[in-house]
Amino acid sequence: MIDMSLFEHAIFAAVIQLIIGLLTGNWWAGAALASTYFIGREVAQAEYRWIEHFGDGLRANMPWNAVFDRRVWQNSDQIADWLGPVITTVAIALIAGSVGSGPAVQEPVDGADDEIAPPGA
């Protein structure tokens, strides 16, 4: 059976990005906001798992790098819960950036490169 939370996280991230992107025109800001929310959420859960399993239930026993301990990232869902939103929002930002931007340098229109006469000439 497919875990729907994997899709839910990506959909919520896309909605957050859509709101930020439409309000500001900055799709990368929307991607950053949505992605960091889900990354932070999963990092906090990894810290709690480390404290529960290896820190005798005390946060004071947790070293600064406990979140990088592979033992607290044993389930693929835990990685997919942050990786899915990151991939989704980066893809949207790339697509929105390529669709919304025109050519970097516009070609001159015929006659547009001619000198402009000064006023009164």
- The ranges assigned to domains in the chain are 4-100
Give pLDDT, residue 19.
95
pTM reported for the whole predicted model: 0.74
> What are the tens digits of pLDDT across the range 37-69?
999 999 999 999 999 999 999 999 999 999 999
Residue 6 CB-density burial (10 A; 0-12 exposed, 13-18 middle, 19+ buried): middle
